[in-house]
Amino acid sequence: MTTAIELTGITKRFPGVIANDDVHLRVEEGEIHAVCGENGAGKSTLMKILYGMQGPDAGTMTVGGKEVSFASPSEAIDAGIGMVHQHFMLAAQLTVLENVILGAEPMLSGNRIDMATARAHLHEVGDAYGLTIDPDDLVESLEVGERQRVEIIKVLYRGAKILILDEPTAVLVPQEVDELFRNMRELKAAGTTILFIDHKLEEVLEIADAITVLRQGRTVATVNPADVTTGDLAELMVGSELPTPQTSLSTVTEEVALDVTELTVLDADDRPAVDAVSLRVHRGEIVGVAGVEGNGQNELVNAIIGTHPIDHGTVTLLGDDITKASVRHRRESGIGYVPQDRHEEGLILAAPLWENAALGHQTGPPFSKGLWFDRDGARQRTEEIRSDFDVRTPDIDVPAYALSGGNQQKLIIGREMSSEPNLLIASHPTRGIDVGAQAAVWDDIRQARAAGMATLLISADLDELIGLSDTIVVMYKGQLVATLDPETITPRELGSYMTGASVATTDNGDES
Amino acid sequence: MTDTATPPASTADADIAAAKRRERYMSLAAPLGAFLFSVVASAIVLVISGSNPFEALSDMMGHASKLETQVSMLNRATPLYISGVAAAIGFKMNLFNIGVEGQYRMAAIFAAYVGGAVALPAPLHIALILLVAMTVGAGWAGLAGVMYTHRGVNEVIGTIMLNGIALGIIAWLVRRWQAGGDIAVVGIGTEPIDDSGILPNLTWLPEMIRDLKGARELTGVLILAIIVGIAYHVLLNRTVFGYNLRASGGNPLAARAGGVPPRRMALTAMFMSGGIAGLVGISEIMAKGRYNPNFVGGLGFNGIGIALLGRNHPAGIAVGALLWAFLDASSDILQTSGAAPKEIIDIMRGVILLTVVIGYEVVRRIQVKEEAARAAARLAEASE
């Protein structure tokens, strides 16, 4: 076998974060190669580099033995690489054929599209790879799995010999996954090389010929699926060296701050994203929620914050039933919120820091007096946040986008902490920030915990979860599948709960 | 500022301070450059069409330097300014209220009708007219707002359709509310408003310099426009509501997580924008004392351009409104002097708007690029 793709020493930095750090990847021709890793491990960045959407800061790429560097996806396409994105890029009102040829139309003289040739070519491609779909169907009438097939045909139509699939199974139901895998095997039989990203471990073991695991931007290992179990893979993904949990004194009190009972939240398709979840967070306690992303953590957080409707169940904060309360009421009752994406939900990037420091707390002192916004109060509080939480900035009038990611995060943490919340909901509070800022954020949370704050911590960083939490719960497919003690947990156990490799009954815990 | 700044950040401090200065110059450069560019572009058009651009320009400048012209410029700028503020309120919330046109016309006919139908002491009479105008404007815009928040009808479509409907309703109302008496004597229009309902003019103000030629008056609505500008500024920058509005416009998701309900904000912004839009027609009512079919149109659409030009800033909108009024006045003089076809003014307006939009965007992109470069440089510094 010859090597289809070889990546050597690929490094990619973004402001405040290193996405890829000396990544090595070798894909043989005609194999199905899986790239696994937690969210934020650098898989997507690596694929974007390979597909010419971003340039690496360091490292080399060879395709078919020749060194290449792509300035744009079209150069990658010319080199025979095609990518199917997780979110499809199809025009719903056009037919399958029209979508497939879009941008690569065979032309006749007089600026007309040669539909006959296009159709013939499409049939050739379909026959060669065993992909069947009616070229005259409107894309809007197709099922998700069929749309995905159109995307794959589109890429093959352009002559791709190497196919990149970005989490292809994420949007599919199990039967469609079987169908996809059947297609992938046929593609492989026809000589196509497939590189696919996934974090569902059973699937990876079922289909892949080789598996490369990424963790925190680095390649951890490339393994043969015959030699490993899902447990082994989970361990590789989450890391085997966990820090000794902080032997800090427990500050957990008897007083329940957050009480969630039988909470069910529906997603856009009316399927339960959170399925009858019950959990309690006491004052002075940090409850960590572990789970591979997309298992309902976001919906849980949003339901507690009030930005996602609750279908069933109750949420109680310090004895006050807030199930139907407005976001405003919840925030005023003392819920602090560190969103998972600081740019999306945490900051108004174009606004100055002192305005950002008020967000979520604008209805009370020091940010307002009655109906009036208190500029002086806001500025003073912002200065306090700046010095107490070490936000590095020349002054508080700069727009939030001028700060580095770590400093933006410290501003958000400072904003939420300085309001002395009863309950802090922290979603990935240290994602994408440097080590120094990370330690500072952890210290801030620990201090507030000692002062009686209850914390619900959602994180993909297991060091963080184990180091900070008093209790860890694991979310899988919308349900809490385990309640674990961070003092005794092993990464292997945690990994197998997170990936659904083992589903255990809740072993202990205060929710019954 | 040096007390809390940490040593490693000090070079970056200077960088950011310099960048902020540059930013300020650059955001002024865009509208100024656009104006100059439009003058040059119009001059070229004039040369091509066989007119003398210098002659046209000197006519325009000569005309604008007269006190009478300045008074009529203020009269024209007054409703344009209010219209600009109305549009700006929508823009601050990322809503495109293209329906100021229909809102002020609806408001005007209702206000004129009610004003003509009652007899009240002066302050109450004027207050009632203003209140009716604002309520009708707010209601008409609110319709589009409700359709947007509750039925997902895009606000551009909603407001523009309501513009058309408003014109139809007004055509019908004008006949229904025709003033009593012989139509040949009273003319088409609503019942005239008693003097108690007319805002006193400010003609004494320019006459402190010298007497005005002709029967020229300075509109009293100018005061109202100034109040609207100040209220807009205070509301936006000094109240929690204004903070919420700006936050919601700046990042709706972050605002929602911060307890600002996006729907209610959108609806309120639409109501307020419409309420202010209702005041656009007041200067016309005060000048004519009634609503008649000659009621001036186009103020709503011009307001959108003016808000854009002034970047939704109360002072910027004032500059934009005065510029528009200047161009209006110039259009008049060019028509009489014959130095150039008056259509050149429309070309100038279009060129100004286009270049200003492009200019702001170019400035924005340069700034974002600079920020990114600075962030990368700092990261590299930090990783050394």
Is the model's pLDDT at A14 over the cut of 50? yes
- Residues from chain B that touch A397, judged by Cβ atoms under 8 A, are 20
Total domains in chain B come to 1
B330 located within any domain? no
Name the helix (H) or strand (E) containing B193: none
- Residues from chain B that touch A331, judged by Cβ atoms under 8 A, are 258-259
Q: CA A42, CA A214: separation in Å to the nearest integer?
A: 7
Same domain, A168 and A301: no
Identify from A393, A408, A438 which residue to disrupt to test chain B contact, counting B C-beta atoms within 10 A and taking the largest count: A393
Q: CA A229, CA A232: separation in Å to the nearest integer?
A: 5
Same domain, A173 and A229: yes
Same domain, A309 and A384: no
CATH assignment of the domain containing A180: 3.40.50.300
Instruction: Tell me the sheet residues that pair with A20.
Output: A12
Q: What is the dihedral of CA A403, A405, A411, A414, to 10 degrees?
A: -160
Per-residue burial over B237-268, b = 16 or more CB atoms within 10 Å of its CB, e = otherwise:
eebbbbbbbbbbbbbbbbbbbbbbbbeebbbb
Same domain, A261 and A232: no
Same domain, A81 and A209: yes
Work out the minimum CA distance from B31 to partner chain A, whole angstroms: 20
Whether B4 and A330 lie within 8 Å, measured CB to CB: no
Domain range enclosing B232: 79-321
Contacts of A266 (CB under 8 A, 6+ apart): A272, A273, A309, A311
Task: Show which of A238, A267, A287 is a domain's final residue.
Answer: A238
Same domain, A317 and A425: yes
Is the model's pLDDT at A171 over the cut of 70? no
CATH assignment of the domain containing B274: 1.10.3470
Say whether residue A58 is in contact with chain B using an 8 A CB cutoff: no
Q: Classify residue A234 as exposed, middle or buried by CB count within 10 Å of its CB (0-12, 13-18, 19+).
A: buried
Contact A142, A90 (CB under 8 A): no
Q: CA B228, CA B220: separation in Å to the nearest integer?
A: 13
Helix (H, G, I), strand (E, B) or coil at A389: coil
Question: Which pairs with CB-CB distance under 8 Å and at least 24 residues apart come from A58-61?
Answer: A58/A9, A58/A10, A58/A11, A59/A7, A59/A8, A59/A9, A59/A10, A59/A11, A59/A22, A59/A23, A60/A7, A60/A8, A60/A9, A60/A10, A61/A5, A61/A6, A61/A7, A61/A8, A61/A10
B124 located within any domain? yes
Identify from B15, B16, B248 which residue to disrupt to test chain A contact, counting A C-beta atoms within 10 A and taking the largest count: B16
B19 located within any domain? no
Q: pLDDT by residue (tens digit) across A21-30?
A: 889 999 998 8
Angle between helices B314-337 and B221-238 (to 10 degrees): 150
pLDDT in tens, chain B (384 residues): 344 444 444 455 566 566 667 666 776 777 788 778 888 888 888 888 888 888 888 888 888 888 888 999 999 999 999 999 999 999 999 899 999 999 999 999 999 999 988 888 988 999 999 999 999 999 999 999 999 988 888 899 999 999 999 999 998 998 888 877 777 777 888 888 888 888 888 888 888 888 888 778 888 899 999 999 999 999 999 999 999 999 999 999 999 999 999 889 999 999 999 999 999 999 999 988 888 888 888 899 999 999 998 889 999 999 999 999 999 888 888 888 877 888 888 888 888 888 888 888 888 787 777 766 665 565 555 544
Say whether residue A13 is in contact with chain B using an 8 A CB cutoff: yes
Q: pLDDT by residue (tens digit) across B44-77?
A: 888 888 888 888 888 888 888 888 889 999 999 9
Instruction: Tell me the sheet residues that pair with A454.
Output: A423
Whether A351 and B378 lie within 8 Å, measured CB to CB: no
Say whether residue A331 is in contact with chain B using an 8 A CB cutoff: yes
B4 located within any domain? no
* End-to-end CA, chain A: 56
Contact A113, A94 (CB under 8 A): no
Q: pLDDT by residue (tens digit) across A423-435?
A: 999 998 887 666 6
Same domain, A408 and A449: no
Contact A38, A32 (CB under 8 A): no
Total domains in chain A come to 3
Q: Which residue has the tokens 């033995």?
A: A65
Domain range enclosing A183: 3-238
Task: Show which of A361, A392, A419 is a domain's final residue.
Answer: A419
Whether B1 and A401 lie within 8 Å, measured CB to CB: no
Q: B300 versus A37: which is more confidently predicted?
A: B300
Q: Provide residues of B within 8 Å CB-CB of chain A.
A: 1, 4-6, 8-9, 12-14, 16-17, 20, 237-244, 246-247, 250-251, 253-261, 368, 371-372, 374-376, 378-379, 382-383
A327 located within any domain? yes
Of the candidates B242, B257, B260, which has its C-beta nearest A373's C-beta? B242
Helix (H, G, I), strand (E, B) or coil at A251: coil
Amino acid B13: pLDDT: 56
Q: CA B186, CA A483: separation in Å to the nearest integer?
A: 85
Amino acid B359: pLDDT: 83
Same domain, A121 and A180: yes
Q: What is the pTM of this model?
A: 0.73
A464 located within any domain? yes
Q: Which of A103-107, A258-262, A418-422 has the lowest mean pLDDT?
A: A103-107
A127 located within any domain? yes
Contact B111, B125 (CB under 8 A): no
Q: pLDDT by residue (tens digit) across A218-257?
A: 888 899 988 888 778 877 877 655 444 454 667 788 888 9
Q: CA A372, CA A362: separation in Å to the nearest integer?
A: 10
Name the helix (H) or strand (E) containing A274: strand A272-282
- Residues from chain A that touch B376, judged by Cβ atoms under 8 A, are 15
Work out the minimum CA distance from B49 to partner chain A, whole angstroms: 38
Contact A306, A322 (CB under 8 A): yes
Q: CA angle, corner A353, sides to A352 and A356, nearest 5?
A: 95
Instruction: Tell me the sheet residues that pair with A60.
Output: A8
DSSP symbol at B7: G
A342 located within any domain? no
Amino acid B8: pLDDT: 43
Instruction: Tell me the sheet residues that pair with A335.
Output: A423
Phi/psi of residue B321, nearest 5 degrees:
-65, -40
Whether B258 and A397 lie within 8 Å, measured CB to CB: no
- Residues from chain B that touch A394, judged by Cβ atoms under 8 A, are 1, 5, 9, 12-14, 16-17
Same domain, A48 and A191: yes
Sort strands A320-321 and A312-317 into parallel, antiparallel or unpaired: antiparallel
Question: What is the token pair recorded at B354?
Answer: 């286009």
Q: Classify residue A57 as exposed, middle or buried by CB count within 10 Å of its CB (0-12, 13-18, 19+).
A: middle
Q: Annotate B41-56 with DSSP letters as a single string.
A: HHHHHHHHTT--HHHH
Q: Where are the alpha helices (DSSP H) in chain B?
A: 10-48, 53-64, 67-92, 100-117, 122-151, 155-176, 183-186, 204-207, 221-238, 240-250, 252-257, 262-277, 282-288, 299-309, 314-337, 343-383
Of the candidates A15, A363, A394, which has its C-beta nearest B17's C-beta? A394
- Residues from chain A that touch B14, judged by Cβ atoms under 8 A, are 394
A246 located within any domain? no
Q: Which of A161-175, A383-397, A492-506, B44-58 has the lowest mean pLDDT?
A: A492-506
Is the model's pLDDT at A130 over the cut of 50? yes
Give whole-number Cα distances, B236 to A48, A376, B112, B260, in Å: 42, 16, 30, 15
Contact B232, B85 (CB under 8 A): yes
Q: CA A274, CA A176: separation in Å to the nearest integer?
A: 23
Identify from A372, A410, A416 which residue to disrupt to test chain B contact, counting B C-beta atoms within 10 A and taking the largest count: A372
Q: Annotate A313-378 with DSSP letters as a single string.
A: EEEEETTEE-TT--HHHHHHTTEEEE-S-IIIII--TTSBHHHHTTTT-TTSTTTEETTEE-HHHH
Task: Show which of A377, A402, A419 is a domain's final residue.
Answer: A419
Q: CA A428, CA B11: separation in Å to the nearest integer?
A: 31
Whether B253 and A371 lie within 8 Å, measured CB to CB: no
- Residues from chain B that touch A58, judged by Cβ atoms under 8 A, are none
Cα Rg, chain B, nearest whole Å: 24
Whether B255 and A359 lie within 8 Å, measured CB to CB: yes
B259 located within any domain? yes
DSSP symbol at B213: S
Name the helix (H) or strand (E) containing A147: helix A144-157
pLDDT band at A94 (very low <50, low <70, confident <90, very high): confident
Nearest CA in chain A to B7: A392
Is the model's pLDDT at A362 over the cut of 50? yes
Whether A368 and B379 lie within 8 Å, measured CB to CB: no
Q: What is the mean pLDDT of residues A21-42?
A: 85
DSSP symbol at A81: E
Instruction: Tell me the sheet residues that pair with A471.
Output: A287
A345 located within any domain? no
A245 located within any domain? no
Question: Hey, which bits of A167-255 come out as E strands?
Answer: 193-197, 210-215, 218-223
Whether B239 and A372 lie within 8 Å, measured CB to CB: yes
**Which A-chain residues 374-433 have CB contacts (< 8 A) with chain B?**
375, 383, 386-387, 390, 392-395, 397-398, 401-402, 404
A243 located within any domain? no
Helix (H, G, I), strand (E, B) or coil at A294: coil
